[in-house]
Amino acid sequence: MDPLLEVQDLRKSFWVKSDRFGGPKQELRAVNGVSFALHPGETLGLVGESGCGKSTTGKLIMRLLESDGGRVNFEGQNILELSARQIRPLRRRMQMIFQDPYSSLNPRARVGDIVGEAFRIHGTAGRGERQDKVIELLRTVGLTAEQYHRYPHEFSGGQRQRIGIARALALHPSLIIADEPVSALDLSIQAQVVNLLQDIQEEFSLTYLFIAHDLSLIEHISDRVAVMYLGQIVELAPSDEIYAHPRHPYTEALLNAVPVTDPRKRKKRIALGGEVPSPLNPPPGCIFHPRCPYARDVCRKEPPPLEEKKPAHVAACHFSDEVGRLRRA
Amino acid sequence: MTPLLDVRNLKTFFFTSGGLIKAVRGIDFSIDAGQTLALVGESGCGKSMTALSVLRLVPPPGRIVEGKILFEGEDLMRLPRPEMRRIRGNRISMVFQEPMTSLNPVFRIGDQIGEVLRLHKGLDAEAAAEAAADLLTQVGIPSARQRLRDYPHNLSGGMRQRVVIAMALAGDPQLLIADEPTTALDVTIQAQILELLQSLQRERTMATLLITHDFGVVAETADRVCVMYGGLVMEDAPVTEIFANPGHPYTQGLLACVPRLGEHKKRLVPISGQLPAGGGGEDGCPFLERCPKPFAPCRDKLPPLREITPGHQVRCWRE
């Protein structure tokens, strides 16, 4: 089966001032050669810590940001080459759900208009038909027809996220990029929204690029998982495989850092030392070597290629066979 | 043994123009010296207001309307303000979620830690700088001497939180109140900070009141747990009991609704309904609307906290 979305060597740099008083600008490589494919109906989880470039990757694919290089093939076309006009019909097919349901909804618009706006812009439904369609969408996401005329402030966080989901569904997309869709919500509400996302995925055969920092949630929702660090994918594998047998030391460290929800299993933490280095000045060789417990000389000099370690399991590490030794059971 | 902190029937209300909001509706808990008590709950459950009440820092239009806050047997509610000020930052100190709320962006961190040391310990400038560097070393900040001259913006989020912890430790507190201390941090940095807090606590036999919504953090750090909902403690138990035999439907729901590593659930089990918006009636159980197994008495009468096994209390009419 052909992939629905194929991202090849995607790049984006931001140029930031090197000090407060101007001076030469420095290159910050936010996304540095990211490649992956998404197959119809699957969920790819994109996980990493703040600043790793996962959100920027999502925005580049949506063309909310213009990339510096690479290809994004969506339904057979490289969308990075298309003009604003050409891309419009494709925009219906790819939608985004954002983290903050408070800031992504216009506070002065009624819910019915927020969800129905897409129909108006794309001219896909007349006035009367529009209202019926919106009400149907509201019901799909667990809201009611009576809420059509309400304003966003009258809803709780979880309900606002449902409105965002209804808006994303309006034009029957095939791909949804969800950027931390539940991390701003309370625990008891997160589960409701996660279940809703899984229900609509089945009902409308959606493909998800699910961006999050929560490793337990990513494991729950993803078929495959890509781990990002300093603008690069360092490991990508089927979900079961990557959680059971990580092949990159960073993935292993992330998994070790997740608190274990069982007080009888308290163990000594194997905390990863140090912090993420500045992306303005990434380390030479392997980008992870300064924090890596497995690092040797070669890691300081040669960047490891992202290569297949097992079928369908790629990792960028010179010593991937050793990874797993430090796993906190 | 008298507990280090014993909170009795604490009520903190907000007198807003829109009406009365009962943020904390009468809660009891106690912490022994060196222990960690976790207050767990979702937004609006009153956990942060409880913490601020202990320090008598409730912002207006909020006010503590009733209750006792016994710290080493002395009721903090009866202390004159200057006395209370001497306790804050000294015998009881606090760490907040977002380190920048506790750090002043225009002062060097050495001066900010030094200020605490000069005020509470009466050190002169030189001794304060010395002690500040020592504290920074204790919280795992490398080359502490040079860092004293840094401003908060020179540091990463994790490093800033370490500085805030160093400030909180400056008065050698017997009780540290930590309100979501790792929520704003990445998971690898969270692990570092939790490790740090635990080792400091062991070295100093300091008690911790930990405010959090994360059961993973609770499982790894707490001795006792109070689960809060609608301004009330719904369940109070030793940490192993909470996870092994959760007695309240809300606790059960919270533990069931989060995915856990390696669990491979097909589907999450959410708690239905929405969080209470605040206010609300006096009668009946606040969890009633969302409870999977309510019955007649739940509507009319607030259930009391009842002991189901020694040391394990549950606020529910069900047996």
pLDDT digits (tens, 9 = 90+) for B227-256: 999 999 999 999 999 999 999 999 999 999
Residue A177 identity (one-letter amino acid): I
What is the sign of the dihedral through the CA atoms of A123, A124, A125 and A131?
negative
CA distances from A148 to A102, A110, A137 (A): 18, 7, 11
pLDDT tens-digit map of A176-223:
999 999 988 888 889 999 999 999 999 999 999 999 999 999 999 999
Tell me, what's the pLDDT at A237?
97
In this complex, which of A187, A215, A240 lies closest to B254 when CB atoms are compared?
Answer: A187
Cβ–Cβ below 8 Å for B254 and A219: no
Query: Is the predicted pLDDT of residue A329 greater than 70, yes or no?
Result: no
Length in residues, chain B: 319
A326 vs B: CB within 8 A: no
CA–CA gap between residue B39 and residue B307 (Å, rounded): 18
CB-based contacts of B190, cutoff 8 Å, min separation 6? A257, A259, B182, B217
Tell me, what's the pLDDT at A18?
67
Residue B49 burial by CB count (10 A; 0-12/13-18/19+): exposed, middle or buried? buried
In chain B, how long is the greatest CA-to-CA distance? 68
Query: Is the predicted pLDDT of residue A4 greater than 80, yes or no?
Result: yes
Tell me, what's the pLDDT at A265?
83
Tell me, what's the pLDDT at A8?
96
Query: Residue written as tokens 């996962």?
Result: A54
In this complex, which of A50, A254, A269 lies closest to B195 when CB atoms are compared?
Answer: A269
Packing angle of the helix pair B109-121, B125-138 (nearest 10 deg) = 110
Query: Is the predicted pLDDT of residue A270 greater than 70, yes or no?
Result: no
Cβ–Cβ below 8 Å for A219 and B262: yes
A266 vs B: CB within 8 A: yes
Tell me, what's the pLDDT at B93?
93
Cite the DSSP H helix spans in chain B.
47-54, 81-87, 109-121, 125-138, 144-147, 157-169, 187-204, 215-221, 239-244, 249-257, 296-300
Spatial CA neighbour of B161 closest among B99, B97, B210, B107: B99
CA–CA gap between residue B179 and residue B311 (Å, rounded): 25
| Mutation for testing the B interface, residue in A50, A153, A187 having most B CBs under 10 Å | A187
Residue A199 identity (one-letter amino acid): D
Q: Which residues between 140 and 169 in chain A have a beta carbon less than 8 angstroms from any beta carbon of chain B?
A: 156, 158-159
Residue B34 identity (one-letter amino acid): G
Q: What is the 3-state secondary structure (H, E, C) of B201-256?
A: HHHHCCEEEEEECCHHHHHHHCCEEEEEECCEEEEEEEHHHHHHCCCCHHHHHHHH
Q: Do the strands A232-238 and A77-78 form a parallel or antiparallel pair, or are they unpaired?
A: unpaired
Question: Is the CB of residue B162 less than 8 Å from the CB of residue B193?
Answer: yes
- Residues of chain B neighbouring A273 (CB-CB closer than 8 A): 192
Cβ–Cβ below 8 Å for B240 and A188: no
- Residues of chain A neighbouring B156 (CB-CB closer than 8 A): 275
Question: Which range has the worst mean pLDDT, A14-23, A112-121, B267-276?
Answer: A14-23
Cβ–Cβ below 8 Å for A262 and B243: yes
In this complex, which of A159, A258, A264 lies closest to B261 when CB atoms are compared?
Answer: A258
CA-nearest residue to B271 within chain A is A188
Spatial CA neighbour of B61 closest among B13, B11, B10: B13
CA–CA gap between residue B199 and residue B169 (Å, rounded): 13
Q: What are phi and psi of A241, to 5 degrees?
A: -65, -45
Question: Is the CB of residue A77 less than 8 Å from the CB of residue A89?
Answer: no
In this complex, which of A186, A240, A271 lies closest to B275 when CB atoms are compared?
Answer: A186
Cβ–Cβ below 8 Å for B258 and A272: no
The DSSP symbol for A129 reads: H
Query: Is the predicted pLDDT of residue B215 greater than 80, yes or no?
Result: yes
Residue B50, helix vs strand vs coil: helix
CA distances from A321 to A166, B14, B262 (A): 45, 59, 22
Tell me, what's the pLDDT at B282?
67
pLDDT tens-digit map of A49-58:
888 999 999 9
A19 vs B: CB within 8 A: no
- Residues of chain B neighbouring A258 (CB-CB closer than 8 A): 187, 216, 261
A189 vs B: CB within 8 A: yes
CA–CA gap between residue B60 and residue B269 (Å, rounded): 38
Spatial CA neighbour of B178 closest among B144, B222, B142: B222
A188 vs B: CB within 8 A: yes
Tell me, what's the pLDDT at A162?
92
- Residues of chain B neighbouring A261 (CB-CB closer than 8 A): 215-216, 219, 243, 255, 258, 260
Cβ–Cβ below 8 Å for A186 and B187: no
Residue-wise DSSP of B172-209 = --SEEEEESTTTTS-HHHHHHHHHHHHHHHHHHT-EEE
In this complex, which of A50, A243, A272 lies closest to B261 when CB atoms are compared?
Answer: A243
Categorize the per-residue pLDDT at B145 as very low, low, confident or very high, splitting at 50, 70 and 90. Answer: confident
**Averaged pLDDT for residues B263-282:** 77
CA-nearest residue to A263 within chain B is B219
Query: Distance (Å) from the C-alpha of residue A21 to the closest C-alpha of chain B?
Result: 16
- ipTM score of the complex? 0.86
Mean pLDDT of the residues in chain A: 90
Categorize the per-residue pLDDT at B278 as very low, low, confident or very high, splitting at 50, 70 and 90. Answer: low
In this complex, which of B214, B244, B268 lies closest to A191 when CB atoms are compared?
Answer: B268
Query: Distance (Å) from the C-alpha of residue A303 to the closest C-alpha of chain B?
Result: 23
Q: What is the pTM of this model?
A: 0.90
**Averaged pLDDT for residues B99-105:** 86
Cβ–Cβ below 8 Å for A187 and B258: yes
Tell me, what's the pLDDT at A60?
95
Query: Distance (Å) from the C-alpha of residue B2 to the closest C-alpha of chain A?
Result: 26
Residue B51, helix vs strand vs coil: helix
Bridge partners of residue A31, in order along the sequence: A12
Query: Is the predicted pLDDT of residue B279 greater than 70, yes or no?
Result: no
Query: Distance (Å) from the C-alpha of residue B255 to the closest C-alpha of chain A?
Result: 9
Query: Distance (Å) from the C-alpha of residue A105 to the closest C-alpha of chain B?
Result: 20
What kind and span of H or E run contains A112? helix A111-122
In this complex, which of A217, A260, A271 lies closest to B219 when CB atoms are compared?
Answer: A260
Residue A175, helix vs strand vs coil: strand
pLDDT tens-digit map of B1-54:
789 999 999 999 999 998 888 999 999 999 999 999 999 999 889 999 999 999
Bridge partners of residue A271, in order along the sequence: none
Tell me, what's the pLDDT at B233?
96
Cβ–Cβ below 8 Å for A263 and B216: no
Cβ–Cβ below 8 Å for B216 and A195: no
Question: Which range has the worst mean pLDDT, A238-247, A269-278, B29-38, B57-66?
Answer: A269-278
In this complex, which of B156, B158, B257 lies closest to A188 when CB atoms are compared?
Answer: B257
B97 or A249, which is more confident: A249
Tell me, what's the pLDDT at B277?
67
Question: Which range has the worst mean pLDDT, A195-199, B86-90, B224-228?
Answer: B86-90
In this complex, which of B188, B213, B265 lies closest to A187 when CB atoms are compared?
Answer: B213
CA–CA gap between residue B234 and residue B252 (Å, rounded): 11
